[in-house]
Chain A
Amino acid sequence: MTERTVIEAVRATIQAEMRRDSSVIVLGEDVGIRGGVFLATDGLIDEFGEDRVIDTPLAESSICGIALGAAVNGMRPIAEIQFADFVWPAINQLVGEASKVRYGTNGVKTAPMTVRVPYGGGVRGGLYHSQSIEVLFAHTPGLSVVAPATPFDAKGLLATAIRTNDPVIFLEHKRTYRLVKGDVPDADYTIPIGKAEIKRPGTDLTIIAYGLMLHYALQAADMAAANGISVEVLDLRTLRPLDEDAIVESVSRTGKALIVQEDTLSVSISSEVAAIIGERCFFDLDGPITRLGPPEIPPMPFSPIQEAAFMPSPDKILAAITKLAEI
């Protein structure tokens, strides 16, 4: 067991998977000698060489297209998109192409590739270093979308993503990289894609969250406990496929649901979760399905006061908990 940050867990897992399987390669901008701008691949070029740790030209579409081509020819590439905000040039190769390889070849070809995407705000990143980009991928059959929030989950889910025989979009919240620490077993383990986890049990209401918001929700739940409100916190961990049963089980038990996300609310993960609860928990609900998210403006302003006003926070979540609990 070693205490690690999220970024350390990511790095250690890539290293372990590259040791375990020689078909695992890393490609992206600055992943070589620089070790990635967040140091997710720090030192890997020394151990595995330039053949397996490839500094690509500055061209995201081809980073993903090349990863896809290598994947269908026997490799297990891990493509790094430097910041989620720059994934848009590659959307075609991911949503358009990679997602349909298995289906479009009637199962003959598969694309075992992982695309690591550092995303999210609260890092003074302004409009182009703060974006949440999960919805478009989560909307796409044929892709899996994973968004771990802890070092433990990052390791288990990244190992699974790399070993999975289909494309996985692996979302790493930038604010959690060094903020969140936790014990990570040194031994090999995996966590299945598509499984949510109750990170804190409770009885009065369920908060459903992922990424950085999971941590804010846990803080808010602690604060609510001091006021005598028992909050359960469910970490989605995977955004496609959503763990419907876990959502339904928890909300049916507590009778109230608060969905918290950093991404724009309209047509989002929270919309989908709300729809699932509406469809499957209707008779167990003791209050309105409630969502907390940022305002509907482009995410997110650079100036600190506006950024803070934009981001959901433990205090804002506590206010939403209190209001919902009183109903």
Chain B
Amino acid sequence: MVLSRHLDERVWLLNRQGKAAIAASAQGHEAAQLACIEATDPSKDHYLIYYRQFAAMMALGTEPEEMLRGFLAKTDDPMSGARQFPLHGAHPRVDLFNFSNVIATQLPQAAGVALADKLKGSDAVTVVFFGDGASSQGDTHEAMNFAGIHKLPVIFFCENNRYAISVPLEKQMGVESVASRAVGYGFPGVQVDGTDVGAVYEVTNVAIERARAGDGPTLIEASVERLLPHTTDDDHTRYRSSEDIVQMLNRDPIRILAELLKRRGQLTDSGDEEIHALAKKRVNLATDTVDAEPYPSVESMFDHVIDSSGGHS
């Protein structure tokens, strides 16, 4: 969690230095993402992410160097060979992918992935991440409807940070919560405090067990804060009040978790500092390594448009 935060901060710095063209941040979403991943089985489960699952990718074992190669568009970017924006493409080791920047397209795709598992008799679960803005798309409705009909092993994991760029929740939906919509699809919808690792782990675990048992989907809505502007190209002071900004800082999940652990006597101040120092060192090392790496060659842009072998099944 701390490593994800430090690396995330570094990426924004690299953007200000003109080295990372664009970044979206998971700062504020870390607890929700890490706890969700913790409840899954990376050896068989599928993860369809969008651009904000920085911490989820870290939780799945992505090395800082690998993350940075995506942001700096270096030749060894493991997700897409630097063809796509950071966090887009397919992960080299776990079945995590994100085909496009187009909001909510991953939800019907996730239903399809889960359908294939059901047909194959696999007990793998598909977790698909999306934002509150994405909940308004037709694809979201279509995916949940289909998943409900076929009781697919899929978890719809909504990270509700109350903003879609600048558009606030009350202009996104006429209901109180995204989770409340699940009733319209015939499966449970749960709201959870996305800054509470224990709570997110618990609800995800229940959803995973339900899915693995063949009982169908769950919609989880984790309420989180987007601590930074939408992306490095955004300025949220244009649309967030200063009270809102101050308030949200109280919901920084890293601070909340550290305070909890300290209250319980499971973390000391010096231990906390040491964790941060180690993370910083790791990030420095990764930055130096990746900064020196080359960009992809022009020739490689012609690869993988279509099966060049004309290969058939």
Contact = CB atoms under 8 A, between A and B. Distances in A.
Interface in A90-112: 92-93, 96-97, 100-110, 112
Interface residues of B, number: 45
B112 interface: yes
A162 B313 CA distance: 9
A100 B313 contact: no
Interface in B35-83: 46, 48, 79-81, 83
A57 interface: yes
B227 interface: no
A70 B79 contact: no
Nearest to B112: A69
A70 B80 CA distance: 21
Interface in B186-236: none
A92 B142 contact: no
Interface string A65-91: 111111111111100000000000100
A73 B85 CA distance: 23
Contact of A105 (B89, B108, B306): B89
A160 interface: yes
B313 A112 contact: yes
A52 B119 CA distance: 8
A278 to B, nearest CB: 25
Contacts of B107: 65
Interface string A200-234: 00000000000000000000000000000000000
Interface string B72-113: 000000011101100011101000010110100101111111
B80 to A, nearest CB: 5
Closest 7 CB pairs of A and B: A69-B112, A65-B108, A62-B142, A106-B81, A73-B116, A66-B112, A69-B109
Interface stretch (A117-125, A129-137, A163-171, A261-269): A163-171
Given A56-B146, A73-B116, A144-B306, A65 B105 contact: yes
A142 interface: yes
Contacts of B143: 62, 65-66
Given A59-B146, A97-B109, A109-B99, 13 more contacts: A69-B108, A69-B115, A92-B102, A93-B109, A96-B100, A97-B102, A101-B99, A103-B83, A103-B304, A103-B305, A104-B84, A164-B310, A165-B313
A303 B146 CA distance: 38
Contacts of A76: 313
A70 B105 contact: no
Interface string A37-74: 00000000000000110101101011011111111111
Interface in A18-36: 21, 25
B109 A108 contact: no
Nearest to A241: B306
Contacts of A68: 108-109, 112
A51 B90 contact: no
Nearest to B107: A65
Given A65-B139, A106-B83, A100 B306 contact: no
B145 interface: yes
Interface of B: 46, 48, 79-81, 83-84, 88-90, 92, 97, 99-100, 102, 105, 107-117, 119-120, 138-139, 142-143, 145-146, 149, 303-307, 310-313
Contacts of A166: 306-307
Contact of A109 (B97, B112, B303): B97
Contact of A73 (B46, B99, B108, B142): B46
B79 A105 contact: yes
22 contacts: A52-B119, A54-B115, A57-B149, A62-B111, A62-B139, A62-B145, A66-B109, A66-B111, A66-B146, A69-B111, A69-B112, A75-B119, A100-B99, A104-B83, A104-B88, A104-B89, A106-B304, A110-B307, A141-B306, A165-B311, A165-B312, A190-B312
A70 B120 CA distance: 11
Provide the main secondary structure of the chain B interface.
mixed
A101 to B, nearest CB: 6
Contacts of A112: 313
Given A69-B111, A105-B99, A25 B142 contact: no
Contacts of A71: 112
B111 A105 contact: no
Contacts of A105: 79-80, 89-90, 97, 99, 304
A106 B46 CA distance: 19
B116 A75 contact: yes
A188 to B, nearest CB: 12
Contacts of B311: 165
Contacts of B105: 65, 92-93, 96-97
A256 to B, nearest CB: 33
A190 B310 CA distance: 13
Interface string A152-180: 00000000101111100000000000000
Contacts of A96: 100, 102, 105
A65 B92 contact: no
Contact of A61 (B81, B90, B108, B310): B108
Given A76-B313, A92-B105, A102-B304, A61 B142 contact: yes
Contacts of B88: 104
Nearest to B152: A66
B307 A165 contact: yes
Contacts of B80: 104-106
Of A57, A89, A141, most buried by chain B (CB within 10 Å of CB) is: A57
